[in-house]
Amino acid sequence: MKATLKGVKKSSFLALLLSAVFALSACSPEVGSEEWCADMKEKPKGEWTANELADFTKHCLIP
């Protein structure tokens, strides 16, 4: 009985974790959108990744 209860707790935790990941990922704007460009302009340049820099240049500077 204890093994079953432990498995249920683990499954519930995993489901909750996955739900949180999906909920948080749905909040970020699409790369290249006006909102994304505005967010990137506010983000410190030192925190940008190489991919973010390339996307910003492609979508926000050279429309």
Domain shared by 38 and 15, yes or no: no
41 and 63 belong to one structural domain: yes
Q: Which helix (DSSP H) or strand (DSSP E) does residue 8 occupy? A: helix 2-25
Number of structural domains in the chain:
2
> Higher-confidence residue: 12 or 56?
56
Indicate if 12 and 35 belong to the same structural domain. no
> Helix, strand, or coil here: 51?
helix
Distance CA 28, CA 56 (A): 15
pLDDT of residue 1: 54
Is residue 17 pLDDT above 60, yes or no?
A: no
> What whole-number percentage of the chain has pLDDT above 90?
52
Are residues 35 and 24 both part of a single domain?
Answer: no
